[in-house]
Structure 1
């Protein structure tokens, strides 16, 4: 078994390939590809897993994924309950910078772009910049063009990313050099999928080990080896991500209701884990979001 190696669809001879998804759900498998990837989330929300990092994603988000970086944009459960074309709308730009820019990167004019690309190994998210709409427009401009014009628009996009956008957040938890072996990709995908589908339930170590087809003791060592965190820490990250989305969407009547619907067995435990994960308490998060 190998990690799912996604083949970028090449309909033309363009060096820069664009795929615009307008689907009921985002591509639902942990995967990677040799090309780097720029993604604009136009519509839809869910959970992003990039390497051993997890966080929610929402419309307007812009991401840059490194070459061969395992990742998945997992749609919200509501998309699966009410599947509609357009639940997931994203623009993806794929490019092999080793092939396209191999000679250009030696030019002095490309220095900013070269430094930017060197930072993308673990993935980046554009973090609430004042020019986010402008960058979204630039991505759409690449999407709507072709041939030489697309290549020039893409180079201009990279130049803007490297010089004009100051707020980039690394999708790394400090272990950016740790990569997922090909032979373990499908097993990890099964673990991720089960966790995101059942986070609201009491997931026992025995049950998740069964999903991975290994013993509980072996599972603990296996998961820690490949993610540099315990399974419980990962599960809590998923649950807090979902709790944050419930707050943003107004899907709660009280903090206790958020806690129990997110899979926590008590409001006290939920408050503790929420503050440890986000740096603030749930009530502070609610007030902060309402203020915004």
Structure 2
């Protein structure tokens, strides 16, 4: 497995970047960006993994992901078929200092400054504001540089004033992730997020970071305040819950297997 490193954004010739893109099946692996990322989902559905959050994504979703916060996307078509299926998205990548070190610290920018400071956990969707912002996201892709700058500020202002913002990644995850950031821990997170639907043992994780299983077990529990098995189960159960809610036609046994459990019995024990 490749070392967990930030996914680079194309070299910026502008203060921030705006792009339209398509997510194809499993091309979105566990990764992070050095910039903040604002994403608008135009079409298709699936599951998003942001930190330790496992949630559905649907058309109209608007998500603000903090710099350095790991995430990945899994289209529904990936689960049901192996046929390529594209999700159309509009994304904006920018740094907190894109307009200067102190711009967002100005008194007039107080609400936006707080939003960006909380962005390692913030997500907003559904509500009249989200509909307006979706329209702004469409417009910004066709604007010149000056108008794009004004529109980005307009978008951030609208999000900062939205009362229905919802936090995604848990405080426990973000505090551990940012305060105890290490290549070793990120290798483990990457291993789990990309392989939790298949057999995954403590020995697999220990081998990934070249540690003895017992030493790794102590390290992981001390660092994350939970056992490795408990962490894997948390991700699997959250994923299974999303499948139960969104795919009523599947049996519990089938969902258990898709979530990484060998059979219904092991799933019930974990729950």
TM-score, normalising length: structure 2:
0.80
How far is 1:153 from its partner? 0.4
Counterpart contact for 1:23–1:84, Cα < 8 Å: no
More deviation in 214-223 or 149-158? 214-223
Per the alignment, residue 170 of structure 1 pairs with 167
| 2:243 counterpart SS class | helix
Per the alignment, residue 94 of structure 1 pairs with 93
**Is the counterpart of residue 47 in structure 1 residue 48 in structure 2?**
yes
- List alignment gaps of at least 5 residues for structure 2: none
Measure, in 1, the Cα distance between the counterparts of 2:104 and 2:115: 11
Measure, in 2, the Cα distance between the counterparts of 1:97 and 1:250: 39
Cα 1:130/1:270, change in 2 over 3 Å = farther
Measure, in 1, the Cα distance between the counterparts of 2:127 and 2:254: 33
**Is the counterpart of residue 238 in structure 1 residue 235 in structure 2?**
yes
**Is the counterpart of residue 21 in structure 1 residue 18 in structure 2?**
no
How far is 1:155 from its partner? 0.3
Measure, in 2, the Cα distance between the counterparts of 1:183 and 1:268: 29
Q: CA RMSD in A?
A: 3.1
Cα 1:25/1:103, change in 2 over 3 Å = same
Q: Which consecutive aligned stretches of 4+ in structure 1 deviate over 6 angstroms post-superposition? A: none
Counterpart contact for 1:142–1:153, Cα < 8 Å: yes
| 1:144 counterpart SS class | coil
Per the alignment, residue 189 of structure 1 pairs with 190
Counterpart contact for 2:25–2:77, Cα < 8 Å: no
Cα 1:94/1:230, change in 2 over 3 Å = same
How far is 1:48 from its partner? 0.7
| 1:38 counterpart SS class | strand
How far is 1:45 from its partner? 1.2
Cα 1:82/1:145, change in 2 over 3 Å = farther
Cα 1:253/1:228, change in 2 over 3 Å = same
| 1:110 counterpart SS class | helix
How far is 1:95 from its partner? 0.6
| 1:64 counterpart SS class | strand
Counterpart contact for 1:46–1:58, Cα < 8 Å: yes
How many residue pairs were aligned?
262
Measure, in 2, the Cα distance between the counterparts of 1:190 and 1:259: 20
How far is 1:91 from its partner? 1.9
How far is 1:78 from its partner? 3.8
| 2:88 counterpart SS class | strand
Measure, in 1, the Cα distance between the counterparts of 2:245 and 2:254: 14
Per the alignment, residue 148 of structure 2 pairs with 150
Measure, in 2, the Cα distance between the counterparts of 1:234 and 1:47: 17
Counterpart contact for 2:39–2:63, Cα < 8 Å: yes
Cα 1:193/1:136, change in 2 over 3 Å = same
Per-residue CA deviation, residues 94-151 of structure 1 (Å, 9 max, x unaligned), is 111223253433433222212222222x221115434322222222222332311111
Per the alignment, residue 139 of structure 2 pairs with 141
Cα 1:231/1:210, change in 2 over 3 Å = same
| 2:14 counterpart SS class | coil
| 1:157 counterpart SS class | helix
- List alignment gaps of at least 5 residues for structure 1: 274-292
